[in-house]
Structure 1
Amino acid sequence: MNQELRSELRSELRDEIFINKKTNSLAQLLKEQTLQLDSWKNEHFSLTPGGMNSSAQLLEIDQISVEPSGQSGSTNRSI
């Protein structure tokens, strides 16, 4: 019985190691994809001559178009 238990534990340990390696590979792939996406975002939304990226400019436009009552102005913009 002791031998069976050892064999079962070894098998479970091998499975666990395999799962960990697979998880690490997926985590590495996710990290690489995130870095590629960040690089793409930096390239396409880089700082403009005004010192703001496109997202910041859109936020500024939204803040300017908000009236004191808290309602949006008549500026219509599609994203």
Structure 2
Amino acid sequence: LVIYDIGCQWITNFLKQLKQSHHLSIPKATKLLVAVGKFHLSAYIQECFVLYSLNFMYGSGQINGKILETLWSPFNFILAA
């Protein structure tokens, strides 16, 4: 599960880059589930909302997609030490 603010655009470009690259690859059996965080999804067109909403992805639970950003402040404190 990849949660990214612009996940719908990212996955399209990522897959194109994989096909064009001689050095990048992922196993064919790998299934990438791409979602857009709940905050950013409200700005998407309705068709994308259904495809990339965490609300409709089996197994994603009630995550908002922002957990890493909430950890930045403590990480900044730790890294400064």
Tell whether the structures are fold-level matches, with TM greater than 0.5: no
Higher strand share: 2
Task: Please report the TM-score for the alignment, with normalisation by the length of structure 2.
Answer: 0.23
Higher helix share: 1
Task: Please report the TM-score for the alignment, with normalisation by the length of structure 1.
Answer: 0.23
Greater relative CO (CA pairs within 8 A, separation 6+)? 2
Larger Rg: 1 or 2?
1
